[in-house]
Structure 1
Amino acid sequence: MAGMGERLVIGALLAAAFLAAPAAGTTLTLHNLCPYPVWPLVTPNTGFPSICGNDIRLEGNGHGLVSFPSPATFWSGQLVARTGCAPPPRCETGSKRPAGVVQLTVHSAEGAPRPDLAVYSVSLVGGFNVPVVVSPQVIGGDGPCPALGCAADLNAGCPPAQRVVGAGGRVVACNGPPGYFKQRCPLTRTTPVDREPVEQHCYAPGELKVVFCQPAMVDVDADAAAHPDVVVAEN
């Protein structure tokens, strides 16, 4: 039987091996439930590699679905939904403000008691254009991993002075104000110092699912999400 000293050494070696082991990749899935096409723009933060092309068109009504792996090491970036593109980069919304921004970080150890922390949020600091919700799928991971974002169509009730009107007189984006955004969508960030009122310490999620026009702040129907009619629509 191993003595106390041997057990401590073995425990230390196992902990070191755990910390040194490469993290498994986190899949990023984008699903469009809006009644119109969305062109997602995924932009890495400075110093990080691109993880997908930005000419993807996701057809509406649940038909547009795409998944791709993030790097197995620390990565950080953001995602914006573009609409009314003909084709990108000429888009009615999403190429500039106002637009909601999904902020994503995977495999981070900063400020965490252990590695492989995923950090995510939906920022409306720069305005709103498309409802978007981020829902981690904790496959082999753990921790509080709440769905965050905005399921409401904030364009519908946007104050007249804050509206962006597109083709046909439709309101396609909204500039605010922050109080209006926060009242309708409390699980978003509406000012530079704003934070969500829920705990988030999500470790090693197997998938980060970003859903456009999710009907409510709950997971979409698993069967419908798993069996879309079209995987990725062509431009």
Structure 2
Amino acid sequence: MDARASFDLLLPFLALLARGVGAATLSFANKCPYTVWPRTLTSGRNGELSSTGFELVTGVSFSINDVPETWSGLVWGRTGCTIDASGKFVCATADCASGEVSCNGAGPIPPNTLVEFNLAAAGSGQDFYDINLGYGFNLPLSITPQGSGSGCNTTSCAGNVNSVCPSELAVKGSNGSVVACKSVCLALNQPQYCCTGAYGTVETCPPTNYSKIFKDQCPQVYSYAYDDKSSTFICAGGASFLITFCPLLDIICDPILLGYSFK
């Protein structure tokens, strides 16, 4: 084996060392004018993280420091959460229907803005991450790589899709305001929108006027099934990640003007 081949075999291990042995960090910041309840869900063989669901009030940050270096999983934020008359924890958007803040292993009820991670995928030493609106949108967020990784770019869905959501896709809160926006596949469940059956290839399932609504607001996200080229981000080295809810709302914090009211 020549020196170049030996070096190529070492690359995945060097990338993991760049991150730090044993763990990465997921940090969360809430810049929304309302409380968000983040949720993490492990989708690989690793066990759940130390915090799977928690409250994050406006202006507060929180970090999970025990993320395995080969972790794959999902992150999303729940909104409009309360304790109901029976004592169960319930949310207006992205609820997991477990009745608990931790979600007890359950996934989200869409529509919800979904973050997807595959860290050190298949031993490659590369981190893959994206924001997926394939099932809809409930709040804006961004993913910012931090630490020693190289070639790591921020991806963001900072626009308020709720403000332009067509009525046939809209989910409304108790006061009539739009609190989430379904994808057209979720709302209408038709093959031409879900890219199934005869529409199951990239050639036969192009973007639709509905998916373009999501893409116009958030150009870096998955807006439908075959929206890969501009939506998957790869970090060449090890990194930790900051997930910021409402990343553009540092100054403008009027929830009524922005369409985020859960009262």
- TM-score clears 0.5: yes
Where does residue 113 of structure 2 map in the other structure? Answer: 100
> Does residue 149 of structure 2 align to residue 141 of structure 1?
yes
Indicate which of 71, 74, 78 corresponds to 1:75: 71
Cα displacement (A) at 1:211:
0.7
Paired-residue identity, %: 27
Indicate which of 137, 141, 162 corresponds to 1:128: 137
In structure 2, how many angstroms separate the alpha carbons of the residues matched to 1:197 and 1:19? 25
Cα displacement (A) at 1:200:
3.6
In structure 2, how many angstroms separate the alpha carbons of the residues matched to 1:172 and 1:43? 23
Q: Structure 1 residues 180, 91: CA separation in 2 closer, same or farther (over 3 Å shift)?
A: same
Cα displacement (A) at 1:206:
3.0
In structure 2, how many angstroms separate the alpha carbons of the residues matched to 1:186 and 1:13? 40
SS at match of 2:156: strand
Cα displacement (A) at 1:28:
0.7
- Structure 1: 5+ residue stretches without partners: 1-7, 221-235
Where does residue 202 of structure 2 map in the other structure? Answer: none
SS at match of 2:168: helix
In structure 1, how many angstroms separate the alpha carbons of the residues matched to 2:232 and 2:137? 24
Where does residue 91 of structure 1 map in the other structure? Answer: 91
Cα displacement (A) at 1:97:
1.0
- Structure 2: 5+ residue stretches without partners: 96-108, 184-209, 251-263
Amino acid at match of 2:171: V
In structure 2, how many angstroms separate the alpha carbons of the residues matched to 1:18 and 1:35? 43
SS at match of 1:43: strand
TM-score normalized with structure 2 length: 0.68
SS at match of 1:136: strand
Where does residue 159 of structure 1 map in the other structure? Answer: 166
Q: Is the CA contact (8 Å cut-off) linking 1:136 and 1:205 kept in structure 2?
A: no
In structure 1, how many angstroms separate the alpha carbons of the residues matched to 2:62 and 2:239? 15
Q: Deviations over 1:77-96 (max 9, x none)?
A: 00111011114741110121
Runs of 4+ in 1 over 4 A off after TM superposition: 11-22
Q: Deviations over 1:111-166 (max 9, x none)?
A: xxxx32111100000000000111112x22212x2221310111111112211111
Indicate which of 117, 128, 144 corresponds to 1:119: 128
Q: Structure 1 residues 91, 140: CA separation in 2 closer, same or farther (over 3 Å shift)?
A: same
Q: Is the CA contact (8 Å cut-off) linking 1:26 and 1:204 kept in structure 2?
A: no
SS at match of 2:40: strand
In structure 2, how many angstroms separate the alpha carbons of the residues matched to 1:190 and 1:27? 27
TM-score normalized with structure 1 length: 0.75
Q: Is the CA contact (8 Å cut-off) linking 1:33 and 1:211 kept in structure 2?
A: yes
Amino acid at match of 2:69: T
Count of paired positions: 202
Q: Structure 1 residues 196, 147: CA separation in 2 closer, same or farther (over 3 Å shift)?
A: farther
Cα displacement (A) at 1:189:
0.1
Amino acid at match of 2:56: L
Q: Is the CA contact (8 Å cut-off) linking 1:101 and 1:123 kept in structure 2?
A: yes
> Does residue 28 of structure 2 align to residue 30 of structure 1?
yes
Amino acid at match of 2:27: T
Indicate which of 56, 59, 69 corresponds to 1:58: 56
Cα displacement (A) at 1:43:
0.5
Q: Is the CA contact (8 Å cut-off) linking 1:106 and 1:117 kept in structure 2?
A: yes
Cα displacement (A) at 1:53:
2.4
In structure 2, how many angstroms separate the alpha carbons of the residues matched to 1:101 and 1:14? 36
In structure 1, how many angstroms separate the alpha carbons of the residues matched to 2:52 and 2:236? 28
Deviates more, 1:199-208 or 1:116-125: 199-208
Cα displacement (A) at 1:47:
2.3
Where does residue 260 of structure 2 map in the other structure? Answer: none
Cα displacement (A) at 1:14:
6.9
